[in-house]
Amino acid sequence: MNQAPSPRRGRCLLVRRDYGFPNPSVPGWKVLDLRRRPLPPPEALRDGGGLVLLGGETLLGWARTRERPHLWKELAGCARTFGLAVGFRFPREMRKVGQALSGAGAEVEVEDHAPDGRIPPLYLDMGSRPGLLALHLAYEWETGAAAARGGVALLRVAHLLAGGPATAGETARALGITTGAARSYLNWMEDAALVRREGKTMALRHPLLSMLFTGEEAAPPREPSTAPSWNPVELD
């Protein structure tokens, strides 16, 4: 993974990580998970210090509410005055938020975790707990699929890719659909952090996901990983 830009006053840093990788944090900055807590009121953004918002995907919904019609300007102001970092899981939503913040005058930087097939460190810490591993794998898939389009088509693609990487053309022939349709499904799955590019082919995001679609019993991973341990990463 490349060295991340340092979040600092006057900037808005967007950080994207796949499921099971550490959440971003910044020493001395307040961390607020928008998947569990409501968005701070405008006055809190004006009077606080540096802020880390997790679950940045929810900002797109907040910006459409009557209560926060000027949300992007509020966040841009927070970034200019104190510094702002926003964590994401899904690439498409991060791009949309970045465009909105840039349009509101924020100076945006991006640190995107490029998927390379490594097993997320969360799974490597599960030891001999196959039941918990299976639950997390199912949660990773279901939440990713909920963020994508395609319905059962995504399951058909996943069953195919569980057997190994495939091109859009190979996917189309195997499923009896057009290459354009196959490419659309794969693109939607990539935007939902469910698949990754591997040369000219597409593969499931990491090897453990294949167990959901092959009937294998979830077993603790034994594959070594160069990923960081499951602790919040401090960006400084």
Position 225 scores a pLDDT of 47
Which residue is associated with the tokens 């702002």?
84
Pairing of strands 12-16, 108-112: parallel
| Residue 232 confidence (pLDDT) | 40
Q: Degrees (nearest 5) of the Cα angle 177, 208, 165?
A: 35
Beta bridge partners of 86: 14, 53
- Per-residue pLDDT, 215: 79
Residues with pLDDT less than 50, the chain: 1-3, 224-225, 227-236
Domain coordinates in residue numbering, the chain: 12-115, 127-214
pTM: 0.87
CATH 2.20.25.10, domain 127-214, yes or no: no
- For residue 131, give the 3-state DSSP assignment: helix
Question: Would you state the pLDDT for residue 235?
Answer: 42
Which pLDDT value is given to residue 55?
97
Find where tokens 């693609």 sit. 157
User: Which pLDDT does position 150 carry in this prediction?
Assistant: 86
Backbone angles phi, psi at 187, to 5 degrees: -65, -40
